């Protein structure tokens, strides 16, 4: 059963089409990597999936009862966050906010969920630490915990290992793998890293020069798009 379906989608950025006639769908439990050079439209597609930008043609639909506010999103870090005085717990707890609707304060269930996700990413000991004092890898774990508070079904990650060193990056990838396999949470990740994408993802979407490749990872490796991209 598809949980996300893009049908004949064309999206534009500042009046220029960044990709055209993109169609794909992903099922529950899939792990999709979106690859492509800078400016190939990865971020634009991400915004489309998140509902922040409307496609100029075509539709992007959620199905299987998935709603916008049930998506877990791990955005790229902004300059504001790097010196933000907030405790880890405050950040993680804010992931549950969307499910509260108009109710302004957190309840017991939200606090329990936040604790559970801190535990799951083994950062419970950082709970009362200040976010800005953490290392890059720890900060990404905190933001991942927040995203997991917001979703049970679909996790979107926007270049999550940018600026992390190789050891921390591979740790982070294995956490994502675990979440995808053990909790059968669908993962969509925008990435530059072809090798890791091929190793981990079940499906690849490759955007380049307005054309796109979509398919299983095993088929992607044999495609010309992959050969070109890996040669660079």
Partner 1 sequence: MNYSIQEILSYSFMQRALIVGIPVSLCAALLGVSLVLKRYSMIGDGLSHVGFGALALAAAMNLMPLQVAVPVVIVSAFFLLRISENSKIHGDGAIAIVSSSALAIGIVVTSLTGGLNTDMYSYLFGSILALSEKDVVLSLILCFIVLFLYIFLYNKIFSVTFDESFSLATGTNAKAYNMVIAILTALTVVLGMQIMGTLLISSLIIFPGLTAMRVFKSYKAVVISAAVQSVLCVITGLFVSFYAETATGATVVCINLVCFLVFSVIGGISKLGFWKNK
Least Cβ distance, residue 187 to partner 1 (angstroms): 15
Distance, first Cα to last Cα, the chain: 36
Q: Which of 158, 215, 162, 161 is nearest to 189 (CA)?
A: 158
How is residue 181 written in tokens?
């396999």
User: Considering the complex, what minimum distance in angstroms separates the CB of residue 44 from partner 1?
Assistant: 14
129, HSE (Cβ side, Cα atoms, 13 Å): 14
Selection from 32, 29, 51 nearest residue 207 by Cα:
32
Cβ proximity to partner 1, 27 vs 87, nearer residue:
87
Alpha-carbon distance values, 179 to 51, 109, 127, 145, 170 (Å): 24, 21, 21, 11, 14
Name the minimum Å distance from CB 51 to partner 1.
Answer: 8
Closest to partner 1 by CB, 65 vs 104, is 104
Q: Residue 22 CB, nearest distance to partner 1 (Å)?
A: 20
Backbone angles phi, psi at 173, to 5 degrees: -60, -40
Taking the complex as a whole, the smallest distance from the CB of residue 29 to partner 1 amounts, in Å, to 21
CB 135 → partner 1: shortest distance, Å?
Answer: 13
Of 41 and 72, which has the nearer Cβ to partner 1?
72
| E strand residue ranges, 53-152 | 57-62, 71-74
Measured from the CB atom, is 149 or 194 closer to partner 1? Answer: 149
- The footprint of partner 1 (CB under 8 A) covers 50-52, 67-69, 71-73, 75-76, 78, 80-81, 84-87, 90-91, 94-95, 97-98, 104-106, 128-130, 133, 143, 146-147, 150, 156
Residue in the structure block whose two tokens are 């979107």 = 156
Which among 75, 82, 152, 154 has a CA at the least distance from the CA of 120? 152
- Kindly tell me which of 50 and 168 has the beta carbon lying closer to partner 1: 50
Bridge partners of 207, per DSSP, are 36, 212
> Between 53 and 221, whose beta carbon lies closer to partner 1?
53
């Amino acid at each position: 059963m598809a949980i996300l379906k893009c049908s004949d989608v064309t999206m534009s950025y500042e009046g220029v089409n960044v990709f055209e006639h993109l169609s794909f769908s992903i099922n529950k439990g899939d792990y999709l990597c979106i690859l492509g050079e800078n400016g190939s439209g990865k971020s634009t597609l991400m915004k489309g999936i998140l509902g922040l930008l409307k496609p100029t043609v075509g539709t992007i639909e959620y199905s299987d009862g998935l709603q916008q506010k049930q998506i877990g999103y791990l955005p790229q870090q902004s300059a504001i966050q790097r010196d933000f005085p907030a405790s880890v717990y405050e950040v993680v707890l804010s992931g549950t906010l969307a499910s509260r609707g108009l109710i302004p304060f957190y309840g017991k269930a939200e606090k329990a969920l936040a604790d559970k996700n801190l535990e799951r990413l083994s950062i419970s000991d950082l709970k009362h630490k200040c976010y800005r004092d953490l290392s890059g890898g720890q900060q990404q774990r905190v933001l991942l915990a927040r995203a997991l508070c917001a979703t049970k079904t679909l996790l979107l990650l926007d270049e999550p290992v940018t600026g992390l060193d190789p050891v921390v990056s591979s740790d982070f990838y294995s956490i994502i793998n675990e979440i995808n396999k053990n909790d059968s949470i669908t993962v969509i990740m925008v990435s530059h890293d072809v090798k890791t994408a091929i190793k981990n993802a079940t499906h690849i979407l490759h955007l380049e020069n307005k054309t796109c490749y979509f398919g299983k990872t095993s088929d992607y490796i044999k495609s010309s798009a992959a050969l070109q991209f890996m040669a660079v």
